[in-house]
Chain A
């Protein structure tokens, strides 16, 4: 279990680094798909099956296809091999190292952080999966946010159609 965690965590992080360092946007997009697949595996390792599947379907499926489609539609050239500005690169490295250092320092001191993975006894079997539980929550306690998200999707669809029209008059 720990062995698999390290494999998928490495996959996620290597995919993420690939997005940042590749000069070709298509290669970046494919690295991002790898990163999302690793992340979905981590979700499934945390017994979040529905969320893991949603991650693959929505992110690695729909969103990345949209990205690839736009990259190919716009025919973006590779970024030219200009050196990154020293100021930007230095600032970024300082920021990232500080962020990770701060995170590790805080996590070392926290008590909840060293908790072992607790056993799940109340889940599993027919009619008791996480899909059932999330569905029940969505359609009882969270019915109003679901409606709002539905309207948001409608508004964004209309917005995209308006934005994509050639003549904005």
Chain B
């Protein structure tokens, strides 16, 4: 079956997802939601990598280096989330809030 999907379809979905994550990071004030939006932006970049790897077919095979790269990104993201959430918990213990508007002791 002939499919009409082009690389642009995937790149635009990835770009919009990245923009949604960016908007979330800028607008929201809860630290955990901001962290979740960062993960969303990371996943949008993952989609771009897989799309480019799939459209770069050589000898009937996609370019698997993109998949390997993505494997490393997922591993690093898991480590990053664990450390980031531990920092948020430590912050919550000392300040009793996760609102970035109230975490402003450096300003005063």
Contacts and interface: CB of A to CB of B under 8 A. Distances in A.
Interface of A: 1-2, 5, 9, 12-13, 16-17, 19-20, 25, 28-29, 32, 35-36, 39, 42-43, 46-48, 50-51, 54-55, 58-59, 62-63, 66-67, 70-71, 73-74, 76, 79, 84, 88-89, 91-93, 95-96, 99-100, 103-104, 107, 110, 112-123, 130, 133-134, 137-138, 142, 145, 149, 152-153, 155-157, 159-160, 163-164, 166
B32 A164 contact: no
B79 A113 contact: no
A113 B32 contact: no
A96 to B, nearest CB: 5
A51 B70 contact: yes
A28 B78 contact: no
A27 B35 CA distance: 15
Q: Which 4 A-B pairs have the closest CB atoms?
A: A122-B60, A121-B60, A156-B79, A20-B24
Given A74-B32, A88-B26, A118-B55, 7 more contacts: A28-B33, A70-B32, A113-B8, A114-B6, A117-B3, A130-B67, A159-B83
Contacts of B82: 66, 156-157, 160
A13 B20 contact: yes
Majority-rule SS of B interface residues: helix
Place the interface of chain B in its size category.
35 or more
Contact of A47 (B13, B16, B54, B90): B54
Given A25-B30, A159-B83, A36 B76 contact: no
